[in-house]
């Protein structure tokens, strides 16, 4: 499978400290370099690829860098280091401002969390969907109207709602507007940032099924960011688990959720409420480590990990491959076996 999007060793760090940019600028002027400032390692050395037509899930707790990673690879912000390749073309070197007018801008599109907040409140549904078509496809007049109407009906949005403003639409209808404006320019990769987080279960089902239908119809690839593991399990082929800026586990979605190998994934899976079984008692204690200038030799999960030993303080575990999965834990083998046996029993 040729990769549609291939990102390698991507890092994004932000200057930490007093906050205002003026402060950073002042320090730089005094010391003559940005290196002396403490940095927040929001995304640290992340590599993965998304194949054509593949749906990849990205899960992790809030503050783990999911959104930063997504914004970096959709090129809404610049990466600090690393490469972002769309097909064969390297995008990481283009400043985000320049990329906004790039010919490949339309190929990566994004559906934001709550269309009620991410769509301009003074745009009607029509204007919201038409905006990317105007800017990126230069459509005008009748062609524009026709395209907007086609996309709206593909997304199951009744045409009489197109003249409404976001506040006049229900949650499900807003979600449809958000999806419609993203797929209007026919992207190859659609990045969905918790598209159903604000919706009730009854509406969530409809939106998820819509997404699956659109994927089959247009052959798009999805990167689906969510903290709802039961949704990720249903929609995604492959899943990436992120913890404090690093990918700690990846693999086929069903396998990762049935036999998680990384202790963090295990805790994550154990915490998901299930309809027909009582939850396991595996719980995470404490708060995550600080992302500001973390010690590069200590496992990021050390301190919260129920299996942590001294080895975890001495070397950072690298991602290692186990058949079709990757796990960043020194003790992944020890989880591999019991999990498999339990499954066979």
Partner 1 sequence: MTAAPALSVEGLSVEFRTRSGVVRALENVSFRVAKGETVALVGESGSGKSVTAYAVMGILDPAGRVAAGRAMLGDLDLLSAKPKELARVRGRKIGMIFQNPRTALNPIRPVGRQIADVLIRHGNVSRHAAPAHAVEMLRAVGITDPARRAKAYPFEMSGGMCQRVMIAIALAAKPSLLIADEPTTGLDVTTQAVIMDLINDLAKELGMATIFITHDLALAGQRSARIIVMHAGHVVENAPTADLFVNPRHPYTAELIAATPDSAASLDELAAIPGSLPDLRRADLPACRYSERCPRKIAACAQPLPLAAPGTARFVACWNPLPEQTVDAPTVSAA
> Which of residues 7 and 268 has its CB atom nearest to partner 1 in the complex?
268
Whose CA is closest to 264, among 292, 229, 230, 297?
A: 229
Identified binder of partner 1 from the candidate list 110, 175, 192, 231, rule CB under 8 A: 231
Identified binder of partner 1 from the candidate list 235, 240, 248, 328, rule CB under 8 A: 235
> Which of residues 136 and 210 has its CB atom nearest to partner 1 in the complex?
210
Contact between 160 and partner 1 by CB under 8 A: the answer reads no
Identified binder of partner 1 from the candidate list 208, 298, 336, 339, rule CB under 8 A: 208
**Residue range at the interface with partner 1 (CB under 8 A); choices 41-49, 118-126, 216-224, 264-272:** 264-272
Contact between 287 and partner 1 by CB under 8 A: the answer reads yes
Q: How far is the CB of 22 from partner 1 (least distance, A)?
A: 21
Contact between 286 and partner 1 by CB under 8 A: the answer reads yes
Number of residues interacting with partner 1: please give it, by CB under 8 A: 40
Strands (DSSP E) found in 207-328: 221-225, 238-243, 246-252, 320-322, 325-327
Q: How far is the CB of 298 from partner 1 (least distance, A)?
A: 19
Is the separation of the CB atoms in 241 and 256 below 8 Å? yes
HSE (side-chain half, CA atoms, 13 Å) at 46: 31
- Give the Cα separation of 268 and 289 in Å (integer): 17
- Give the Cα separation of 273 and 275 in Å (integer): 7
- Give the Cα separation of 55 and 36 in Å (integer): 40
Rg (CA), the chain: 21
Identified binder of partner 1 from the candidate list 227, 307, 313, 320, rule CB under 8 A: 227
142: three-class secondary structure by DSSP: helix
Residues that bind partner 1 (CB under 8 A): 61-63, 170-171, 200-206, 208-209, 212, 227-231, 233-235, 267-268, 270-279, 283-287
């Amino acid at each position: 499978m040729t990769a549609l999007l291939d990102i390698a060793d991507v890092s994004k760090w932000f200057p930490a400290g007093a906050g205002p940019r003026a402060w950073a600028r002042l320090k730089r002027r005094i010391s003559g370099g940005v290196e002396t400032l403490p940095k927040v390692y929001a995304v640290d050395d992340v590599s993965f690829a998304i194949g054509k037509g593949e749906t990849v899930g990205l899960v992790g707790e809030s503050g783990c860098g999911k959104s930063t990673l997504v914004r970096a690879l959709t090129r809404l912000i610049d990466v600090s280091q690393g490469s972002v390749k769309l097909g064969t073309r390297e995008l990481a070197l283009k400043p985000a401002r320049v990329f906004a007018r790039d010919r490949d801008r339309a190929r990566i599109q994004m559906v934001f969390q709550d269309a009620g907040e991410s769509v301009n409140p003074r745009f009607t549904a029509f204007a919201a969907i038409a905006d990317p078509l105007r800017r990126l496809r230069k459509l005008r007049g009748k062609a524009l109207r026709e395209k907007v109407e086609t996309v709206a009906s593909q997304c199951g949005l009744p045409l009489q709602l197109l003249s409404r403003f976001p506040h006049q639409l229900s949650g499900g209808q807003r979600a449809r507007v958000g999806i419609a404006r993203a797929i209007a320019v026919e992207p190859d990769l659609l990045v969905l940032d918790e598209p159903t987080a604000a919706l009730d279960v009854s509406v969530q089902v409809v939106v998820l099924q819509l997404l699956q239908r659109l994927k089959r119809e247009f052959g798009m690839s999805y990167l689906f960011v969510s903290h709802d593991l039961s949704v990720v399990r249903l929609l995604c082929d492959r899943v990436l688990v992120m913890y404090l800026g690093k990918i700690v586990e990846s693999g086929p979605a069903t396998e990762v959720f049935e036999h998680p190998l990384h202790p963090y994934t295990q805790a994550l899976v154990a915490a998901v409420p299930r309809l027909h079984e009582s939850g396991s008692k595996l719980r995470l204690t404490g708060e995550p480590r600080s992302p500001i200038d973390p010690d590069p030799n200590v496992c990021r999960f050390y301190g919260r990990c129920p299996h942590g030993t001294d080895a975890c303080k001495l070397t950072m575990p690298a991602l290692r491959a186990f058949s079709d999965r990757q796990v960043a834990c020194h003790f992944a083998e020890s989880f591999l076996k019991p999990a498999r046996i339990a499954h066979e029993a």
